[in-house]
Amino acid sequence: MRPDINGDNVRGLSNCTKAQIKFRVSTLPPNCIETHTKENYSNYFYPGKNMTPERFCQTMYPQYKDVETSYGPNASVENCKIMCCWNQVLGVAQEREVISTEDSESYDYSIYGGEPKQCLQHSMTEAMPCGDNKTCFQGVCDEHNWTEIYNTYRTYRTFNAL
């Protein structure tokens, strides 16, 4: 990958990475590369087209039942960024003479806004809604022409482009 100085350019591969992928694919046996299943895809569908931010976070973190969507200064739909948060599981407190585990059980976290949260930022998937009549495409939230995008960037089941 070739992230830029700010870590935002994760959508492109470096020439070195492309060469390594091409080499690795060239070493695979034909039965590993050939497709033996019937096609089941659409050139007119992007992953985020029918996905809400809430569903995105639930898909990313199925192990957390309380996962929710959050936005902050660096993670906003206008920047095609999303934060997925869930309640953080705190470890067992070590028993001490001054503080007992009974005291910690009754502690009210609501004065700090509730349970402590763990949050991770993600880039929104292609075609996710990010505003009125706007969607994300290659990390940009705008009024994109999806007919043109579908015709330019299609899904093919071949490795000829490598």
Each domain of the chain, given as residue ranges in start order, spans 37-89+106-152
- Cα 58 to Cα 129: distance, rounded to the nearest angstrom: 17
Burial of 39-58, coded b for 16+ CB within 10 Å and e otherwise, reads eeeeeeebebeebebeebbb
User: How far apart are alpha carbons 50 and 73 in whole angstroms?
Assistant: 26
The set of residues, in sequence order, having a beta carbon less than 8 Å from that of 130 and lying 6+ positions away, is: 77, 78, 80, 124, 136, 141
pLDDT in tens, 35-82: 776 666 665 678 788 888 899 999 999 999 889 988 766 667 788 998
Q: Mean pLDDT across the stretch 15-34?
A: 88
State mean pLDDT over 123-135.
Answer: 90
Task: Encode pLDDT of 13-23 as tens digits.
Answer: 888 999 999 99
